[in-house]
Structure formats: C-alpha cells, structure tokens
Amino acid sequence: MKKSRPWILWLVLAGTIAFFLAPLGQRDRRDGFAMQKFGRLPVLLNGRIKPLDTVARNSLLIIHGKQSVALEKGALAPIDWLAEVLLKPSEANRRKIFVIRSPETLASIGRSDPTEKYFSFLDLTPRLQDIEQQADLAQKVEAQLRSPFQRDIIKLFERLTLFHRLENSIEVAGTKDFTGQIDDLVKNIRPNPVPMNSGISAEALQSLGFLAEVGYFFPIPPVPPHDDPLQWRKMGESLLQFLTAGNLHPAVKSWATLATAFAANDAETFNATVDSYAQWLQEHFPGRVRKAHVESVFNQLEPFYSALVIYVLIFILACASWLAWPQRLGRLAFWLLVVTFVVHSAGLITRMYLEGRPPVTNLYSSAVFIGWGAVLLGIFLERFFRNGIGAATAGAIGFLTLLIAHHLSMDGDTMEMMRAVLDTNGWLATHVVMVSLGYASTFLAGFLALIYIVRGAFTPSLDRETAKSLARMVYGIVCFATLFSFVGTILGGIWADQSWGRFWGWDPKENGAALIVLWNAIILHARWGGLVRQRGLMVMAVFGNVVTSWSWFGVNMLGIGLHSYGFMDSAFPWLIAFGISQVCFMIIGALPAGVWRSQFEGATVPRAVPAADPVEVG
Amino acid sequence: MSTAALPNELARLLRVFASLRLTVVCLGFGMILIFLGTLAQVHLGIHNVQARYFQSLFVLWTPEGSRWHIPVLPGGYLLGAVLLVNLIAAHATRFEVSRKKIGIFLLHLGVILLLIGQLLTGLYARETQMRIDEGQTLGYAEAPREVELAVIDVSDPQYDQVVAIPEGALARGGTIQNPTLPFTINIKRYFPNARLTMRAQDPSAPPSLATMGFGANVVAAEIPRTVKDDERDLSSAFVELNGVEGSLGTWLVSNAIAEPQTVAVNGRSFALIMRQRRFYKQFALTLLHFAHDVYAGTEIPKNFSSRVRLVDFERGENREVLISMNDPLRYRGFTFYQSGFDNNDKTTILQVVKNPAMLLPYVACGLVGLGLLVQFSMHLFGFVRKQGR
C-alpha cells in the first residue's frame, strides 16, 4: 500500500467547508441600506414569529417560483425585493416577477405571444377582474377534477392576491408620507378622559380598516411586558386600537419612519431606524430576536441546498473509487461524507431549535430527516467495510431526499404550526422519528441492493468478496428497518389509541407503514427459510424502495384518511416513474447469472440448503 | 415437544403449519390485502372496507348483476388465524428455548398478543359518541351508525318507560309484540338509508304508506347506505300499530326528524321516535365549556378541549374534568376522547370507547420492541466483533 498524501484530503475538506460557509460573505446589495439587519426584524405570520427575511423568501418562492429576482446586472435578493413591495410599491409593481407559461392562461389575460412569459403587477392590473372571475369559476370545481388551466388560473390569482396583501401590510400601497399621516392621527386624538377622534377623516379611518383587513403579516409586537404571540397586531389593527385606547405603539412609529425613509431613498434615516427598532426589540423580546437572528443566518446559509451539492460529489467520488485509487478516493468520499453529515445535522438541529419540535413535523422535514438517517447508517457501513459502498449509497440517498425536500419547500414556509392532534412533542419524537428511521433504513437497504445489481449486471467489478459484504450490509440494514418500522408503527397505534380511542383503524397511512413492516418481515423470513439467497435478497430489497415510496407519498395522493396532509398531484408521475424503474432493476437482478458481466462464485452456485438459524445468516 | 412422538401424518401436517414458507405466504397475502384494502377506501369508505377486507374470513366479490359471492382473497381474520397457528406451531416444533433465541421468542410472543388483541378488539370493542351542548347533561352515548326505534310511554310526568327496537329487528320486519305495550308494531317497510322530500315538491310520487303523523306529507325513497365518514344514514321505516280493535294507523319514522310523534291508546300516550341507538351509563356528564384555540393570526386549530362535570351517584363522584386532544378521560372502563365539535363551538362531540383488550397492544409493543432489540443487537455485536478481529 502506497502512503497516501493527506494534504490533498485536507485541501478538499477545507474547500468544502469554505463552500458551506461562503453564503455568509454576501454583502448588502442595495447601496447604503442595511438590508440584512432589516431582514432580521421579527414579525408574526401563520402563527409563528419569524424574521422578515423568511417572509421575503417564502413569498418570493410562491409568487416567482425562485428565491431571487434576476436583473440585467446581478439579481435582487428576497429581502431587497420585499422591502420594495412593502415600502416602495411603485418599483415593485414594475418588476416582472409573475411567470405565466400556459397558453390558455396567457389567452385569458389577452396575450398571445408565447415568448412573453414574464409580467409585472402593473402589466396584470388591467386584467385583474378577468383573472378573478376565471379563478372563481375554477374554484367551484372539486380540487381533484380541475383542468390544468383551472389549476393554473387559481394559482395565478393566489399569487396576485398574496402580492396585493404584502403591498398593504405596512402602509396602504402608494402612500406618500406615512409618518406625516400618523402624526396627523396623533394630533387629532384627544386622550382624556375617553379618546375622541372627531378630527379624523372618514377616508383615513377607511384606509386603516383596509390595512387591518388586507395586511398579510403582523409586524407590531405585543405591548411589553406582554409576550403572547396572540397579541401581535397588523399595522391597521394597531392603529385602530390606538384610536380607541389612545396610546400609540412605538413599533408603529418605527415602521412608518422606515417606510418614509425608504421611499425617499434616505439610507441614513432608514439604517438608524432599523438600529433603534432592533435595539428596542432586543430590550423587550430578547428571546424572539435571537431566534429571528438564527433563522435569518440559517436562511442565508441554506445548509440543505449546499449539502445536496456535496452529496452528488460524494456519490461520484465513491463510484469512481471502484474504478481507480480505491483507497484514496474512498477515504476522501468518507471524510467528505462526515463533513456534509455534520452540516446536515446542524441544519436539522437549527430547525428543531427554531420550531421547538422534534425533527419531523411535516412531509418536508420527513424528507430531510430520512436523508439524515440514511446518511448516518451509511457512514457506519463505510466505517466498517471501507469499500466505498456505504459512501455511494449515502451520497445517493442524501442527494435524492434533499432534492425531494427542495421541491416540497416550493409551497412556502416549511415550519408550519402543528394542527391540534399533532401538537404533542412526545409522540412526534417517538412514533414519527421511529417510522422515519424505518423509511430511511428500508431505502438504504434498497439502494445497497441497487448497487449490487448495477455493478453485477453492467460491470465486471462485483467480486465475491464485495458481493458477500453487500449481502451482509443489506441483511443487517433490513434488520434495522424491521426494528424501526415495527416499533414505530405500533407506537403510532398507541398514539391513535390515546387520541382517538382505537389502536388500529386501517387508515391509509397506517396501512402504508404496515406494508413496510410486512415486507421487511417477509425478506427476513424468506432468507431464514432459504427461499431466497444472495440475489433474491437483493431483488426483494429493491422492492422495499417501491413499498416505502408508496407509504411515504403514494397514500397521500389518494386524498383520503387522517394523514393525507397535502394532495400532491404534480408528484404522481414521478412516483410512478420511480416504481417502474425499481421494477426494471428487479428484473435485471433476476436475470440468469450468465448474462451478468460480473462472474463470481456466489452468483452462480445452486441454491443452498435452508439456513436453519437466523442468527447465523448473513 | 418433539415431533417424533406423533404419528407420521400428524407430524407432516404440523411441519406444514410450522413452516417458514407458510409464514411468507401469509405475510404476502397480508400485503396484498392491505394494499387493495387501502385503494378500496377511495370508493367504499373506511367502514365498509374494514368489514369486508379486514374483519372477515374472505374478501367476497359479487359480479355485476349476479347474486354470487365469490371469495377472491383471504380476509383479515383468516390470515390472522393462520399466522397465529403458524407461529405457535413453529415454536412447538422448530424452536428450542435457548438464550440465543430469547429475542425471537419475545418478539413472536408480542406478535401473538397483537393478533389476539386485534381479534378481541374487532369482536368486543364498542365505539359510541356523546354530543353535549354547553350546559346540557347527558347520561347516555349513541352509536353513530346504528339506529333504534324507541316507543316511549310518556303518560307519567315523573318518568318515561322506553321500549327500544334495535335496527336488526327493524331490518327483519314482521310484527313485534312487547308485554308493556297495548299494541303490536308491524314493520311494513324499512330503509337503512333514505332520501326524504316534501310531497309538495314531488307531487307525482306514489301515495305514502303512512296514514298518520308527518309521514303522509313526505316521500321516502330508498338510497344506498353512505360510504362517507362524515355522513350519516337517514334510516327510515313505515310502522303500523295494531291495537285490540284493529289498526291505529301507519307512521313514517326516521332519524332525520328529531321531533317525536305521539299516539294515544287506552288513555296512555306514547311517543314514537327513530334515533341513534343509545347506551345508558350509570353516570352523567355536563358540558361546562368547550374551547377551540387557534394559533395567533390563523385559523389553524391548536387545541380542542371540553370542561365537563362528571356526576356518579352510585360511586359518589362529583368533579370537574378537562378532556382535550391527546388527553382523554378514563372512567369505569370507558374512555372519552375529544373527537369533534359543532354548533359554533357550543357543542362538543366526545368519542366514547369501551375496549376490553385495550392493554394488549401496549404489552405487545413492549415485547416486540424488546425482542427485536435483543435479537438484532446480538447480531450487531457479533458482527462488530468479527469485523474488529
């Protein structure tokens, strides 16, 4: 064995760490405005206190489908865009952020040129009524029966509505001098004994009511020392409250100054106000401010997206190690895997801290967590077998699950509040985590088997030793999968007994979990009974991928049952394609040994006597 | 136990029942059954599927337009029973009790308990509901999918005397006589589910069987039982009361109509009402307050809870209880869960469950978890030790 050169390893690892941290180096792009600090201000939306930056990212994702707005030179960051929408709508209205691809939708807004896909709010304003009317008609059709045009027009209308609500969250869009308006209000209120607002015009009152109704998020925190999320207010609500109670919330003044300064391009006042407001928040809500800060840094780092990129690299390196320099490339892949796993874990832990919840709370977080679990097991496999297989599988599953997560995040905030029955950390931490680990290990076994089949059938690289170690890995992981999925499923039953009074109700998601348990049990019993040997084990493990993907996503697509959180018609073709691909691999796996490129003893020997003792198998 | 002591044929049979092949076949059929049973829920609804697929010996298929019932798949009960025999036979023949097998032994014991528990639950568990308005006191629970025809003697203002005719008897039809009633009840027609329309809206409909009460003005047409979870069958029947001097008339009764219809016989008055089947308890619950909490600035429900007063004269109980999501009340073998609400948050719906086999899954879960853990850790440690050498 040649002595390996560790400096290459160190160099690559350092480069990777730099890659993960690089986003922190981004500077404010809007000249002179402290947009990063602005983005850290906490607001309340959908029941959760989050930084403005999160609101910006999720809204832009929903409206524009991307997390940045392309400009002629460079791009507009989400918070830069949101600042315009909130505080300077004249500019935001001209940004061509509404993407319309469907020819039918284009026709409904009176456009026929299919190359023109990008529209601004101003472009669409004259057609708002038509769009609303078409969307109303489409809404009357049951969700599953809607045509592509109907879905598209509803989506467009929702995007426009969201944009409109954002524009009217701080001030009525197009207000000239918000600070002046508020000064007028204060002047016209005579506080004692009962606040009187005789001097306030009907028009001004109406605009406050409009703000209170249309505003999208809640920028005004409770009056200290109160800190109940229920006491956050919309701008309009806080102002209306002021009219009756007579004391203006200090945050109102800050937001108004921000709006006026931003519209007047007065960076100095804007930055000073951001600083003083942040200071005020820090004094009264230190916990909330800390979380908002952590969340905005988390947003900026996008750890899962960076990890996704490195997982691909790991997969390629590990595969390459089977062709050349197995030692060096394998070691490199392993250490890259460890570093990426640390980043993946850090992201997961940050989410848990922000939500105050166990790791899995919805479909998005299940994807992140299943990837995490599979990578962890992959690291152990790589540590023991040192043949690149654990690293390759971990890289592949890490990449795929994070890709799925990335697509699931397109619908907006991934940290939603938990509906009543799910609002219990104990069960989320046990049942949901166990079942997710069951998914992760079943996938891991399936992907290991894919490596066996692909290497065996298409390359000469699968020798007896490798095949044997793969068989041991798959067998061991299936054991794990059985443990996790069985215990996880029964814990789910006990939760159901605690909440609904029945242990098992044949609900689709419960059935899906039971299918995974049964399939893993079948694999083990078939192996113990000698009904299958090495290759049969692999083919069966691949089918585990089909069963698990059905349980994870398929049952949600039926649109029935207690667990059908989110009907995802767009993912359906992908699920079918995945299922078909797995069946193809199973067929290849079942081909006669002579057709395979790898020829080795284990692949050709006749069926052996049944393994009598389960403990000895593998 | 050794198979050598048994006659040849019996030993072979035992070997078949103890074989791993049978285990694999049963589990495979189990997967097919569960998969098809999941898909079938889209059209049949969960309750139908439970009865046809999982709480049955065979899944029957009836070809369109025929009266044949052809078994196409083994049902849940059959598969469970065969697996149970398989497990027990395997332990009786193949397994020897040893330290190495202790994990598998525990695990299989857990599975046996799980299967038995599900069988007992299927046979003996009863799920009922209590709908209580704020301020109301209720001493009974109702079966959400089963009706009864109550004939109530309301002559005495002090108490009512109730004769309840269960749904099964209504479906059988014929004449019912009860010693406390001065008339017999003839079930002329029974509709498990019906659509009721006012006659004025459908003047061309054939004349009603009913001669008394509101039934004469209503058209009742039979429709299939609902498969949706959130819908209730409107069970209806035409019943004729016959006194000593002949017919007293025919009434339409239906659980769609809450108002009782009264009839006077021999100076006593009786109320006729079709209602959800009732199960009276030895205690009563009063709803003091129902709360529906949401997350700030959203409609997302955070918690539902009912503050109730539990009064039990027999046991001298009189206390306040808070029933909330994931936190039920357990009392006298019944468990009361927060299940729903209605009527602008003024009415609570509690699920009332009595399940004598409730504890079995808990024990089973412990055994299975322990067994798997023991078995696979022995495997894992052995592996790590070998790898380390």
Lowest mean pLDDT among A72-86, A412-426, A592-606, B259-273: A592-606
Cross-strand pairs, B289: B307
> Which residues in chain A have Cβ-Cβ distances shorter than 8 Å to B379?
476, 479, 615, 618
- The confidence score (pLDDT) of residue A617 equals 38
- The confidence score (pLDDT) of residue A195 equals 56
* Cβ atoms of A496 and A559 closer than 8 Å: no
What are the structure tokens assigned to A63, written together? 């409206």
Q: Which residue has the higher pLDDT, B98 or A211?
A: A211
Mean pLDDT for A505-527 is: 92
Distances (CA, A) of A87 to A14, A93, A160, A493: 42, 12, 18, 51
What lies within 8 Å, CB to CB, of B168 at 6+ separation is none
Question: What ranges in B232-285 are assigned the alpha helix state H?
Answer: none
> Which residues in chain B have Cβ-Cβ distances shorter than 8 Å to A497?
358, 361
Q: Give me the sign of the Cα torsion angle B261, B265, B269, B271.
A: negative
A558 touches B at CB < 8 Å:
yes
* Cβ atoms of B316 and A480 closer than 8 Å: no
Task: Quickly state the pLDDT bin for A563 (edges 50, 70, 90).
Answer: low
A384 touches B at CB < 8 Å:
yes
Q: Tell me how many residue pairs between chain A and chain B have CB atoms under 8 A apart.
A: 183
The C-alpha atoms of residue A507 and residue A253 are separated, in whole angstroms, by 52
* Cβ atoms of B259 and B283 closer than 8 Å: no
- The confidence score (pLDDT) of residue A191 equals 57
* Cβ atoms of A70 and A440 closer than 8 Å: no
For residue A503, pLDDT over 60 is answered with: yes
* Cβ atoms of B132 and B350 closer than 8 Å: yes
Report ipTM for this prediction: 0.85
For tokens 């971990």, the residue is A394
The C-alpha atoms of residue A332 and residue A11 are separated, in whole angstroms, by 11
> In whole numbers, what is the pLDDT of chain A averaged over residues?
87
C-alpha A117 chain-centroid distance: 27
Question: In percent, how much of chain A has pLDDT > 90?
Answer: 50
- The confidence score (pLDDT) of residue A615 equals 41
CA neighbours within 13 Å on the CB side: how many for B71? 8
CA neighbours within 13 Å on the CB side: how many for B226? 14
Chain B residue at shortest CA distance from A423 = B302
- The confidence score (pLDDT) of residue A559 equals 65
What are the structure tokens assigned to A67, written together? 């997390």
Of B208, B203, B204, B178, which is closest to residue B191 (Cα–Cα)? B208
- The confidence score (pLDDT) of residue B79 equals 94
Of A229, A219, A215, which is closest to residue A249 (Cα–Cα)? A219
Along the 389 residues of chain B, how does pLDDT read in single tens digits?
A: 445 566 788 888 888 888 899 999 999 999 999 999 999 888 888 888 888 899 889 998 888 877 888 899 999 999 999 999 999 998 888 777 777 788 888 999 999 999 898 888 888 888 899 999 999 999 999 988 889 999 999 888 888 888 999 998 898 988 988 888 899 999 999 998 988 888 888 888 888 888 888 888 888 888 888 877 677 888 999 999 998 888 888 999 998 888 888 888 888 899 999 999 999 988 999 999 999 988 888 888 888 899 999 999 889 889 999 998 888 899 988 999 988 888 888 999 999 998 888 888 889 888 998 998 888 888 778 877 876 66
> Which residues in chain B have Cβ-Cβ distances shorter than 8 Å to A559?
42
- The confidence score (pLDDT) of residue A381 equals 92
> Which residues in chain A have Cβ-Cβ distances shorter than 8 Å to B144?
none
> Which residues in chain B have Cβ-Cβ distances shorter than 8 Å to A555?
38
325-364 of B, contacting A, C-beta below 8 A:
325-326, 328, 335, 337, 339, 351-353, 355, 358, 361-362, 364
* Cβ atoms of A517 and A485 closer than 8 Å: yes
The C-alpha atoms of residue A451 and residue A473 are separated, in whole angstroms, by 12
178-197 of B, contacting A, C-beta below 8 A:
none
Task: Quickly state the pLDDT bin for A451 (edges 50, 70, 90).
Answer: very high
> Which residues in chain A have Cβ-Cβ distances shorter than 8 Å to B302?
47, 417, 420, 423
Q: Give me the sign of the Cα torsion angle A561, A566, A569, A571.
A: negative
What is the tens place of the pLDDT at every residue in A145-200? 778 888 889 999 999 999 999 999 999 888 888 888 888 888 777 655 555 556 67
Q: Give me the sign of the Cα torsion angle B90, B91, B95, B101.
A: positive
The C-alpha atoms of residue A69 and residue B282 are separated, in whole angstroms, by 68
* Cβ atoms of B2 and B94 closer than 8 Å: no
Q: Do A515 and B382 touch (CB under 8 A)?
A: no
Q: Which region, left, alpha or beta, applies to residue A324 given φ > 0 means left and ψ of -120 to 50 means alpha?
A: beta
**pTM, 2 dp:** 0.87
Lowest mean pLDDT among A136-145, A559-568, A589-598, B214-223: A559-568
Question: What ranges in A249-388 are assigned the alpha helix state H?
Answer: 250-263, 267-284, 286-301, 303-320, 326-355, 363-385
The C-alpha atoms of residue B128 and residue B142 are separated, in whole angstroms, by 5
- The confidence score (pLDDT) of residue A556 equals 79
What is the tens place of the pLDDT at every residue in A353-397? 999 888 988 889 999 999 999 999 999 999 988 889 999 999 999
Which among A46, A487, A514 has CB closest to B369? Answer: A487
Q: Do A490 and B368 touch (CB under 8 A)?
A: yes
